[in-house]
Amino acid sequence: MTAFSPNRVAAMCLRHFYTLRRSWPRLVEMAYWPTMQMVIWGFLSQFLATNSSYIANAFGVLLAGVMLWDVLFRGQLGFSLSFIEELWSRNLANLYCSPLTPLEHIVALIVMAFLRASVGVLPAMLLAIPFYDFSIFALGVPLLAFFFNLLIMGCGLGLMVTAMILRYGLAAENMAWFLVFLLAPFSCVYYPIEVLPGWAQAIAWALPSTHVFEGMRAVLFDGTFRWDHFLAAGALNAGLIAVGIVVYVFSFARARKLGLLLQVGE
């Protein structure tokens, strides 16, 4: 078995950089939705700040929620779309006939998820400062903990989506767009977990995202960083990534058995 090669990971990132640098509509689209979300939720926050003690106590709680939610969504989408691009261009067989290993491919997809999520949410985060006098960067170091936990969760979900696409072809492509929203009600992005009924809380605590958003509210309302939530999110993410890699490798082996790598498509 050949050793893991950072150069091959870099080659895959270069491939996506080439695609993105001359496709300004893609770059605009990446930043467009997070920015629009920020604008809408910003106005709503301004309204609720004078009509709701919850918002008045921490003006940015909805804005921070929507921005961090987009880190998760854009991370998952960035991972999945970078993979789907290979199917759209019928390039997957070329890649898997080269020395590129599935693990190197996965690492490259994680790097691309980070870059795509950053390009997507950074403009919204920066624009919120002049628009609403709210800086998510005021969260300080905990923001990094939230950002990376949500990004890793997005990649874990992306692994599941790509595994499904490997198995079922582009017919499963839409999962890239809706899978993460299945988890939104349980992630408690805009409300505390106590709002959920008991059975739903059990599901919510099993999601890394719930711990991130609970941790975010702790910083905004109480000014405290909840290590318990941080560690729980990290542990759950480690499990999610491990399961995701196993599912991906299993799907890859299955695709090789069924001959799907050459014919994966609609």
Sites of contact with other proteins (CB under 8 A): 1-2, 5, 7-8, 10-12, 14-15, 18-19, 22-23, 85-86, 89-101, 253, 256-259, 261-263
Q: Which is nearer to other proteins, 194 or 257 (CB)?
A: 257
Q: Which is nearer to other proteins, 108 or 220 (CB)?
A: 108
Smallest distance, other proteins to C-beta of residue 85, A: 7
Q: Which is nearer to other proteins, 195 or 258 (CB)?
A: 258
φ/ψ (deg, to 5) at 220: -70, -40
* Cα atoms in the Cβ-side hemisphere of radius 13 Å centred on 237: 24
Tokens found for residue 162: 């790509």
Q: Which is nearer to other proteins, 101 or 201 (CB)?
A: 101
Tokens found for residue 197: 């009924």
Task: Decide: 147 and 215 in contact? Cβ < 8 Å.
Answer: no
What number of other Cβ atoms are within 10 A of residue 264's Cβ? 20
Smallest distance, other proteins to C-beta of residue 257, A: 5
Dist CA 183 CA 48 (whole Å): 25
Q: Which residues of 187-206 are buried (b: 16+ CB within 10 A; e: fewer)?
A: bbbeeebeebeeeebeebbe
Q: Which is nearer to other proteins, 153 or 260 (CB)?
A: 260
Smallest distance, other proteins to C-beta of residue 21, A: 10
Smallest distance, other proteins to C-beta of residue 88, A: 9
Smallest distance, other proteins to C-beta of residue 256, A: 5
Helix (H, G, I), strand (E, B) or coil at 187: helix
> Tokens 């770059």 appear where?
27
Q: Which is nearer to other proteins, 249 or 261 (CB)?
A: 261
For residue 70, give the nearest of 40, 110, 38 by alpha carbon: 38
Give the gyration radius of the chain's Cα atoms: 19
Smallest distance, other proteins to C-beta of residue 133, A: 40
Smallest distance, other proteins to C-beta of residue 62, A: 37
First to last CA, the chain: 33
Q: Which is nearer to other proteins, 46 or 101 (CB)?
A: 101
Dist CA 161 CA 159 (whole Å): 5
